[in-house]
Amino acid sequence: MKHGKQNRTLGRTRRGRTALLRGLAISLIRDGQITTTLAKAKELRPFAERLVTYGKQGTVAARRQAASALGEPSSNTITKLFNDIAPKYKERDGGYTRIIKMGQTSGREEAVIEYVE
């Protein structure tokens, strides 16, 4: 039974899902937009938006929380998140990402997830 189960498993263990989301989030921060499956994009959205919220706080504690959530990435990633991406959304209360459906490719729904301008 799936009572109370809200997240998609994406055919992976919990460790695998965490690693996948961290990698996707780092790519999104680095590139600004990525193409992936619709299910992965929908799982990535709240994870990525929480990181931007940390970036908007701008404190040392928020920097550490973001680094921890991303699995201690390179300092370039955290710097870009806090100095380039988060300040653009200072006046915005959420909804930092957009998912654009691209249609079906090889039997799965593809989507582009990107930061809103």
14-115 has which fold? 50s Ribosomal Protein L17; Chain: A, (3.90.1030)
Q: Where are the domains of the chain?
A: 14-115
- The pLDDT of residue 48 is 98
Q: What is the mean pLDDT of residues 39-46?
A: 97
Residue 43: the pLDDT is: 97
109's CB contacts (< 8 A; 6+ apart) are: 37, 38, 39, 101, 102, 103
Return d(Cα 111, Cα 37) in angstroms, integer: 6
pTM of structure? 0.93
Chain segment 17-26, per-residue pLDDT in tens: 999 999 999 9
pLDDT band at 6 (very low <50, low <70, confident <90, very high): confident
SS3 100: strand
Residues of the chain above pLDDT 90, percent: 90
